[in-house]
A and B are shown apart, each in its own frame.
Chain A
Amino acid sequence: MNAAAVSERPIRVLLAKLGLDAHTIGVTVIARALRDAGMEVIYSGLKQTPEMVAATAIQEDVDVVGLSSLSAAHMQHFPRVVELLREQGADDKLVIAGGVIPAEDAQRLRDAGVAAIFTMGTSTDEIVAFLRQWAASR
């Protein structure tokens, strides 16, 4: 595939809810906003394990994995997803996260390889712009 064909392919995003957290508004709003921005969005549904998310990300050949948590189990699951992708040679995928994530946890997640953390109040335009910029610089 040449460079032009790569850049024309829409950004493929997997949005995932990990663990038992079932707050879905953020993920719903972002799924629709990314779709409206021309991206391809796959939604995992609820009650996913990091293993399930990594497997889906690889199987669906996504560019971006967006992890959502509002129940405070983000430290449990998010770094594990990054680790699993790395172990399976899929660390070219961008992992981003959103939800209720205190500042100190956000730093620890960034250290663990989560590229960006979008907390409450982030506009969807901001997320779209971030992903486009990342895709363009790839």
Chain B
Amino acid sequence: MSQPGDPRDPEALRKGLEEWERQTLAPALEREGERLPAFETQALHWPVERLYTPLDLEAAGFDYLKDVGFPGQFPYTRGTRPNGYRSQLWAMKQVTGFGTPEEWAKRAQYMLDQGLSGFFIEYDLPTTNGFDSDHPLAAGEVGRAGVAVDTLADMEAALDFDFSKLRHLTSVCNGPQPVNLAMIIAALEKKGVDPASFTLQMPNAILIEYTCVGRYIFPPEHGLRISTDVIEYTIRNHPNWVPISVISAQLYAARANPVQELAFGFSIAMQYLDAVLARGFTIDEVAPYFSFVTGVDMDFFEAVGKLRAYRKVWARLMKDRYGAKTREALELRITASPGTMSLTLQQPLNNITRLAIQMLACALGGGGYTMTTPLHDEAHALPSDEAIAVGAGVQKIVAHESGVADTIDPLAGSYYVEVMTKRIEDAVFAEIEKIDRMGGALAAIRTGYFQRELAREQCERNRALDTGKRKLVGVNDVERRSDEESLEIFRVDPESERRQIERLRAVKARRDEAKVAEALERVREAAEGDENLVPPILEAVKLYASQGEICDVLREAFGTYMPDSLTTGV
């Protein structure tokens, strides 16, 4: 006989729930009321019910085998790894990068010595915008937000660390990604490092930059073409590398809610998939090369639901829309990291706590292959050595001390988590359909749809903080403090900029100008035709053509992009 609460008997359950509401809950509510007039999730503003039971799963049309299944099996809700984190933990990475190439190489070695198996290289703004360090717009930015790489000489210096411990390297240089790829290939060749000894991951999903971030150079359709060149070249020449990584974390950082993040990110990914398929690959050949990077916010259950839905939506898109058949195509490759956008400038040590909670959500949501931690003082300035060590500690504590990595997908079956996962999944499919009707991601960028949606979310979130509807500890729960925080702020040596420019001039002075000019001419011919851009760029890079020079040739061929008032979202 079934008891109240037995999910096999919804009637008994309904009866039990009614009894609880009447006999137990009602008197308590009478006495104590509730803290808030309404409870809602942080980013999606979905109502949060008082209690979730199997009845909610029933109402959502939940079917265990169809919606959850088993680890390593379609639809991968419980993770893509058949044995979760019991065989291998996630790879631990951190985002960092600053200063001159030599300073970066030292920092990279330090991170490897801290036990991190890989990291992101972030470049400075001139580099990611395709300008050399001596360009007028570069003034004051050289080596500040990341490492400065003008020529192959810089990349050789930046990669001057011990590769034997390195498993993953993510090189974040969206705008001029073909130039960046060429520099890495050429530098590895000179160092004698086997390119197959580690995985190079490139974001190379420039379309995201038009919706937020803004490190675009060329009009979007040309951005799409150069990204596609990088994907095609990498698949054919470095089959163990990951030539496209849709950093939906950037959308999240621009305040996309989880549904927007997944729908916009997947729509952008599909724009690339279609472009690569048009070059003669099959879906099962190319899908495994696509990877994603996400960030999670402070709403723990939205975060976990998002990560679980992420894998499901990808698997279903690949299977139903593209007819993918192999496991490698259906499995989502994702890096999940705590989000820098929830870090606060005020009371910065609290950011360590935020990172720990978010890291826990990443681990429980099944971040997939790798996870990264930002650093607790990232809201302030670039990370100090101490902050890097603390960031690494957060990952290790979650991995080794919390026990969450010891059983597979331990939150599965939570009524709330399963309802959240399914609701996010359904809403993402609805939003993807909406974007399809607009003509896909490129069209949604051209008309400013993504940008305006994000601007609206940004203003709403800000309003929620201003009015105190959303609490942020140290920000809107206390009287504002003066800016006298005792935090150690990392500052870039101003001499770096001068030295970097000198180095660029020295490199240019000793190269063969005639050969450089010839090589740049070949880049131009490729850009004006439809030949893959990577081989001629690689030749130019080997002759020490600077990335600014190569990008200038591409600017002449493609034009540059400046959004109008509609497409800025402002």
Contact = CB atoms under 8 A, between A and B. Distances in A.
**How many B residues are at the interface, by size bracket?**
35 or more
Contacts of A28: 455, 458-459, 568-570
A33 interface: yes
B570 A102 contact: no
A38 interface: no
B480 A125 contact: no
Given A100-B380, A121-B475, A123-B466, A47 B137 contact: yes
Given A22-B213, A24-B570, A28-B569, A120 B345 contact: yes
Given A100-B345, A103-B484, A76 B139 contact: yes
A97 interface: no
Query: Most chain-B CB neighbours within 10 Å: which of A49, A121, A123, A125?
Result: A121
Interface string A21-52: 11011011101110000000001011101000
Contact of B562 (A45, A73, A77, A121): A45
Contacts of B129: 20, 47
B344 A120 contact: yes
Contact of B381 (A73, A102, A123): A102
Contacts of B476: 121
Contact of B140 (A15, A32, A73): A73
Contacts of B345: 100, 119-121
A120 B340 CA distance: 14
Nearest to A103: B483
A19 B125 contact: yes
Contacts of A43: 565, 568, 570
Contact of B125 (A21, A31, A49): A21
A115 interface: no
Interface in B525-553: none
B214 interface: yes
A91 to B, nearest CB: 23
B134 to A, nearest CB: 14
Interface in B457-491: 458-459, 462, 465-466, 475-476, 480, 483-484, 489
Given A120-B345, A125-B466, 13 more contacts: A20-B131, A21-B141, A21-B145, A28-B455, A29-B459, A71-B141, A71-B144, A73-B141, A103-B483, A106-B483, A121-B475, A123-B465, A124-B466
Which 5 residue pairs are nearest across A and B when measured between Cβ atoms? Answer: A76-B140, A22-B214, A20-B125, A73-B140, A103-B483
18 contacts: A19-B125, A19-B141, A22-B214, A24-B214, A29-B462, A32-B455, A45-B563, A47-B129, A47-B137, A76-B141, A77-B140, A100-B345, A102-B489, A119-B483, A120-B379, A121-B475, A123-B466, A125-B466
